[in-house]
A and B are shown apart, each in its own frame.
Chain A
């Protein structure tokens, strides 16, 4: 059954020549040609001949990778098309090497009925250049009171259930959602946050918030809520997915839960892997996000957990915001940073180039691991697979500027920073989704 929808663009015939094909799932890391015929990988090998009419892409010195899958995108549609719509959001995804994205349900109206989800699917069929799926809300209107009709939503193609943006505030609500999820076979995902500890929070609570006089959001705010949800998941024997882990303290509880065999998965964002609360000293509101950037010790723990697999995957939490929400004083600004177009380059620059994480691990965490969590076919570069891949120029350095985005919003935490690694080509579902200007 379908979990993503996209525009019926023509499938491609394409020969990608002489790129370094790095696909951990297929066990390849070598220079090869990749032949795509009618949108499927026909052959991976040496000196392949281009069939008549096929486009040839010279990838000498470049990386050919399985395309990325984002488990956490805010496409803002319906309701805030001024910030992002499905066309601009999936174009941003394509420009970032993504071949599938899953949108959060906190739109206006909320995706809390099958009709709303079908509306999303219709828009995606009309506009999405990269296949897009959607979460459905756990509770109606994200109000934290009444469960949505999850079985019908699952039938309509909801990838999973999440009230992202809001925590599931009570233990009994977490419990009911996890119980009912056994009917739907879909995972419950949580935006972990103890609201009583979050109240008034603007940034991570620590030396930087003390110095800046901004309301602190303690690590405890996240780890306590995750610990509670994990205990309930253990009690109910239900799977759980944890959004955007930011704190070392959360990794401790996650590690214990995994060690005792719980079916729990967790994601981490590129910004939490690359930046810390020290950056907030500029009071630049693009660095305001929830969960907040934490301390260097947290960041290092996240990197280590990404490497070990304790954190299963990278997810962007791409959160577009209008200038009305961001070009205002830090304390009045909305939480969130965009991420689709910078995710790979950020992680390549901050982790791979610094040898904290190897390329194969990064590819697994950005592509195949999130696909498995979403229950969709993992992108793979091998004969017979649907062409879901991207080509990266690992030598290209570029500066993040507002003008450079395909996203309709420019609130990137990485504005002004220099990154290495540029996505030059993306093929999603066998269709050419992105090609960088030469």
Chain B
């Protein structure tokens, strides 16, 4: 069987996404037990290779692997590969000594997963590459949506608000949301909305007042670099907050807020939303565990629709 990578949401069909979400759901009871562990991936080796700091994503993957009884190795590279003098290709070759089944990688550059995949027998799971893709975030977002709104997301309306230009989460989410039949609108300042993105089948809005009948408002993190001198993406965080910061007053009743974390309080999200229990942010984090278990599991056993129950 050829190995299966998950580098982009585009690697998955709608059926495969739904199967992954179903598989994640079947893992939920495990996470409620006293002993939150199944022997499913015993004897398998999973490497977490993080070239960018990300405690959240790496811990989520690590715990997911442990819940499935896999052996895990974590490699955190500080600084760039170039500084270390070892190329990604060298790292891939070195890692093959462990005979990993899966390498989960986060990397600052788009295209890193392809280089890794060419140089390893292991399946590659993209945990974020540059501004390109973050497919597991998208899948956990979909899972959180299903937990909240039910299995059928078809026709639901989502507005993604903020720095679309620099966001791999936005790109994966647009693809995944569209794949499941949702309606996607992008909202943000024109400086942060990439030219030509409407060809992904999304609507574009520059004014937050036009959130309209969106069911979900998905806020993106605003990085401090965007206000760096000379970059001129934004005049100031204050002005961003004034135009696009989300607060309770700007929401219509029933609209739910999501955020990939970590949040910037007072920039893209007001404390009234950050602190209430209407938002789906905690559910997203929780969903990450079940979804990543499902991804690791499906990567190894395949995407055939064999019932997951018997392995639990």
Contacts and interface: CB of A to CB of B under 8 A. Distances in A.
B37 interface: no
A50 interface: no
Contacts of A331: 108-112, 130
B196 A207 contact: yes
Contacts of A214: 110, 130-132
Contacts of A212: 110, 132, 171
Interface string B111-153: 1101100000000000001111100000000000000000000
Interface string B53-73: 000000000000000000000
B194 A216 contact: yes
A102 interface: no
A332 B109 CA distance: 7
Interface string A256-285: 000000000000000000000000001111
B196 A213 contact: no
Given A214-B132, A328-B115, A207 B199 contact: yes
Chain B: interface size category? 20 to 34
A114 interface: no
B132 A210 contact: no
B87 interface: yes
A216 B194 CA distance: 9
A207 B197 CA distance: 5
A324 B85 CA distance: 11
Interface string B180-208: 00000000000000111101100000000
Interface in A203-252: 205-214, 216, 218
Given A283-B114, A329-B111, A206 B195 contact: yes
B195 A333 contact: no
Interface in B28-50: none
A43 interface: no
Interface in A320-352: 324, 327-333
B107 interface: yes
Contact of B196 (A206, A327, A329, A333): A206
A295 B196 CA distance: 11
Contact of B109 (A218, A282, A284, A329): A329
B88 interface: yes
B106 interface: no
A329 B82 CA distance: 12
Contacts of B259: none
Contacts of B197: 207, 210-211
Nearest to B119: A327
Contact of B195 (A210, A285, A327, A329): A210
B111 A210 contact: no
B199 A329 contact: no
A416 to B, nearest CB: 13
Contact of A210 (B112, B114, B200): B200
Interface in B73-118: 82, 87-89, 107-112, 114-115
25 contacts: A205-B196, A207-B200, A209-B196, A210-B194, A210-B196, A211-B196, A211-B199, A213-B110, A213-B168, A214-B110, A214-B132, A283-B111, A283-B114, A284-B114, A327-B87, A328-B88, A329-B107, A329-B109, A329-B110, A329-B114, A329-B129, A330-B109, A331-B109, A332-B109, A333-B111
